[in-house]
Amino acid sequence: MIPIYQKRDLIVFTIGVFGIITDDKDRVLLCHRRDFDLWNLPGGGVEAGESPWAALVREIEEETGLKAVPVHLSGVYSKTDKNEIVLSFFCQVTGGTIQLTDEADQIEYFHLDRIPSNTSLKQVERIKDYFADKTRTYYKVQTGPSAIDLINV
């Protein structure tokens, strides 16, 4: 008898979402974290029962005070060494004002060639992908340590 279904171990992935927000000078918005000396795109994890785009809208407002909507999926990044999937979206601001939050002690726009050196290399790659072709969706595997992994060494 040939088994119709073979039971396999279930692999659970966490999902992260990050927003690429630009201003009229084509600079990208970054947040400086309060808990670590790191700059990153606004975003975070998707909670149970939440869609990725709803999580993105929530995270952007929590971290920046801005109301924004996702316009274009700019990248899908698989972090296979951590069982994580990260989605990067180009977002348009629809309201709110930039304000410091419990999560961010600085929020600034940066030109691509002026991104701070203490920005996660994986996030820099996602930003560069967006600016390389704003109409494309990138699909990539990202490996290696995260910025927080390097800090905790």
Class of domain 14-147 as given by CATH: alpha beta
User: Global pTM?
Assistant: 0.89
What pLDDT does 10 receive? 77
pLDDT in tens, the chain (153 residues): 455 566 677 788 899 999 999 999 999 999 999 998 999 999 999 999 999 999 999 999 999 999 999 999 999 999 888 889 999 999 999 999 999 999 999 999 999 999 999 998 999 999 999 999 999 999 999 987 776 666 665
Left if phi > 0, otherwise alpha if psi is -120 to 50, otherwise beta: which for 77?
Answer: beta
DSSP element (H, E) containing 45 = strand 43-45
Structure tokens at 38: 């790191």
Sequence spans of domains, the chain: 14-147
Long-range contacts of 147-151 (CB under 8 A, 24+ apart): 147/36, 147/38, 147/40, 147/118, 147/119, 147/120, 147/121, 147/122, 147/123, 148/36, 148/38, 151/36, 151/37, 151/38
